[in-house]
Amino acid sequence: MLFSLFVTAREGLEIALIITILLGYLRSINERGHFRAIWYGVVAAAVLSLGVGIGLEVASRELDGRVLEAFEGFTMLFAVAVLTWMLFWMKRHSAGISKELRHRIDTALSRGSMLALGLLAFSSVGREGIETTLFLFAGSANQSSDALFVLGGLLGFVIATVAGVVLYYGSARLPLRQFFLGSAIVLMVLAAGLLTNALADLHEATLLRELGSRPWDTESFISMTSDLGKFLHTIFGYDAAPAISQIVLYWTYLVAVLAAYVLWPVSRPPRQTFEVAGTGVVATTKAETLADAS
Amino acid sequence: MAVVALAAAVYACGSSGEGGREVRISQGEDGCTPESVTATTGEKLNFVVTNESRKEPYEVEGEGGTELEEIVVPEGKTREVGFDVPDEPDTYEIKCYVPGDVTTIIEVEATAP
């Protein structure tokens, strides 16, 4: 449940921010009449993401045995790769996203194209939606309760929606910068767990012949089939007797990605310097980040 | 992290453990033993599975619609998994196997008490 809740709360908030920027800008330039185009794009993106999720689920139900294990293993690896790339992309480019979206809205409006506005919302939201779908599908292979997994996912989206409404109406300042840093770390921990689970799946699919020795066994302390064992398996990729390759992969990924994320520079748009007319005062424009957009 | 710790504590408190009548299963180089188990309908069994072979990954899971949680037993390790025998008298199949290698179907013959 916590896995799906974390994923949808974080990714849902990214989606909410994008929609807030689009609607907020249209509102500020008195173009509320174009809200409908944005919402059409958002709904289309949601349908596409849902379709991808249903497609993955149907495909996995058609498979069994080693093919299913291989499918799940590769999906987990792909989901981790996409998520890691998106986390870094978001950090690197967050400074210019708000400005870029506004520029693209201006371009669409100047052409009088409702379709372009809808496509803008569709592509921006769809990218996040498919990323969310991939990560949820990869994580669902290890969850212990279908109902709780779905409930967690819905709860995360509710949290993100409420945050989006609060941002749009500007009734409160949310600690977005802290939330994005904290949730990025949580997602990296979840991704590291998925990596070790992917190794186990590929081993079960006999695509990996050896995982190496298993230096310890904590089964008598926390059983893999106990509720706590299942919970830790889902969140941290807990294995009572992990193979040395799983241990090395887990910690190498976590330490390397965390260190790189903290050190990864944020790309800020060049500050525009100008002189305030007649005063001799030189001012600079404030860089806008996704988090500043609120 | 505090949320995770809290949730873990809640999960830990809710852990039910295995329980039930113990049934030992041995995983060897040529397959698993025993190949049949007798039980009464509605009974709870606790399979204690030991991988005594040099093969990995040795797995146990339900077969033909039998609901049994999948477990993977590393070489030289022992794992436990609970099985609730359905209320309907029947023969329930459990698959004990190494992917792409040996497979044994263990039959649980459930009769009314």
Residue A159 has pLDDT above 60, yes or no: yes
Could you say which of B7, B11, B81 has the minimum Cβ distance to residue A225?
B81
Nearest to B80 by CA among A98, A229, A282: A229
Compute φ and ψ for A82, nearest 5 degrees: -65, -45
* Residue (of A80, A93, A83) closest to A18 by Cα position: A93
What is the predicted pLDDT for the residue at A265? 73
| pLDDT at position B5 | 45
Return the pLDDT at B6.
42
Question: Are B80 and A240 within 8 A, CB to CB?
Answer: no
CB pair distance less than 8 Å for A224 and B11: no
Domain ranges for chain B, please list them: 16-111
DSSP for A139-176 reads HHTT-S-HHHHHHHHHHHHHHHHHHHHHHHHT-S---H
Return the closest-CA partner of residue A192 out of A274, A63, A79.
Answer: A79
Interchain proximity B72–A200, CB inside 8 Å: yes
How would you classify the pairing of strands B90-97 and B103-111? antiparallel
Chain B residues within an 8 Å CB radius of A243 = 74
Residues A294, A174 contacting (CB under 8 angstroms): yes
* pLDDT over 60 (residue A219): yes
pTM comes to 0.78
Chain A nearest-CA residue for B46 = A225
Per-residue pLDDT of A80-116, as tens digits, reads: 999 899 888 888 777 677 788 888 888 888 877 788 8
Mean residue pLDDT of chain A comes to 83
Higher pLDDT, A51 or A91: A51
Q: CATH classification of B16-111 is 2.60.40.420, yes or no? A: yes
Nearest CB to B12; choose among A217, A219, A228? A228
Determine the Cα–Cα distance for residues A132 and B82; give it in Å rounded to an integer.
34
Rounded average pLDDT over A258-279: 64
Model confidence pLDDT, tens digit, residues B14-59: 333 457 899 999 999 999 999 999 999 999 999 999 999 998 889 9
pLDDT digits (tens, 9 = 90+) for A128-143: 999 899 888 888 876 7
Q: How many angstroms away from the CA of A109 is the closest CA of chain B?
A: 45
3-state secondary structure of A210: coil
What is the distance between the alpha carbons of residues A176 and A17, in angstroms, rounded to a whole number? 10
Sign, Cα dihedral of A199, A205, A208, A209: positive
List Cβ neighbours of B5 (8 Å cut-off, separation of 6 or more): none
Query: Which helix or strand (DSSP H or E) is residue A83 part of?
Result: helix A65-110
